Amino acid sequence: MENKITDLKKENAGLKEKLAYLKEILDKAPCFIYINEIEKTGKEYTMRNVYLNKYAIDITGYSMEEAYELGFEYFRKVLHPDDFEVSIQSIEHLAKIADDQVFGGMYRCKPKDMDYIWQIGRSRVFKRSPDGSPKQFLNSTITLNEEIHTHNQMIELLKENSRLLNENIILKLTKRERDVLKLLAEGNSAKMISEKLNVEESTICSHRKNMLRKLNTENTASLVNFAAENGLN
């Protein structure tokens, strides 16, 4: 019995040492590491931070307790308004991909009493609810330091961010809408497309109207430009 107690004490000490080591890694990692949790399935506004590593706390100026208590408002405070909208779309995209896939892009973060700083991050589903919907997201982010803020690098990063956002938008289009968009980009009129797809012209017009709404644009020319920019022509 005494030997068993001794073994358990050694095992407990070993586990404590491993936990301390892992905590030190997380606290000294030169990047943001954080976990978001959605309290109610499908309701992004119930999302809150349930973990922030020390680096994230030091840079943003928000303690773990503050971030948790602020709930969804925390994201409104630390994200640029334009990037806040992108982050919501990113969550919708993450919900549709496999757990071993990652998704991310560039965004602007606002620490307390400071101007916005550029960051680039990656996210993946960390845990799921019993019904299979995403429950927690694991995120890592690095701050883009001044030494890599060259003009060309910033342009490429912005293009990548735009590409990732557009990929998410494309996912919202149905297969038939993508077919119609491709034919529009090739210079076909609604009548020509209706003949090629063997459907009513009014149906093609409905598809075009839905795509204008989903892509938040105003005319067919914008749809064609979007298709060209994203290799759909």
**With 70 as the cut, is the pLDDT of residue 164 above it?**
no
For residues 189-206, average pLDDT: 89
Mean pLDDT for the chain?
83
- Lowest mean per-residue pLDDT among 96-100, 168-172, 189-193: 168-172
Has residue 166 got a pLDDT over 70? no
Which band of pLDDT confidence, cut at 50, 70 and 90, is reported for residue 136? very high
State which fold the 173-229 domain adopts: Arc Repressor Mutant, subunit A (1.10.10)
Rounded mean pLDDT, 72-90: 83
Tell me: domain 31-166, CATH 3.30.300.160, correct?
no
Report the pLDDT value the prediction gives residue 71, as an integer from 0 to 100.
92
Confidence of residue 222 (pLDDT cuts 50, 70, 90): confident
Residue 224, classified by CB atoms within 10 Å of its CB into exposed (0-12), middle (13-18) or buried (19+), is middle
pLDDT above 70 for 66: yes
In the chain, where are the structural domains located? 1-29, 31-166, 173-229
Mean pLDDT over 110-137 rounds to 89
pLDDT band of residue 65 (cuts 50, 70, 90) is very high
Q: For position 33, what pLDDT does the model report? A: 94
Confidence of residue 39 (pLDDT cuts 50, 70, 90): confident
11-20, 75-84, 163-172, 202-211: range with lowest mean pLDDT: 163-172
- Cα-based torsion angle of the residue sequence 57, 58, 59, 63 in order, rounded to the nearest 10 degrees: 30
- Read off the pLDDT of residues 203-218 as tens digits, 9 standing for 90 and up: 988 988 888 888 777 7
SS (H, E, C) the chain: CHHHHHHHHHHHHHHHHHHHHHHHHHHHCCCEEEEEEECCCCCHHHEEEEEECHHHHHHHCCCHHHHHHHCCHHHHHHECHHHHHHHHHHHHHHCCCCCCCCEEEEEEECCCCCCCEEEEEEEEEEEECCCCCEEEEEEEEEECCHHHCCHHHHHHHHHHHHHHHHHHHHHCCCHHHHHHHHHHHCCCCHHHHHHHHCCCHHHHHHHHHHHHHHCCCCCHHHHHHHHHHCCCC
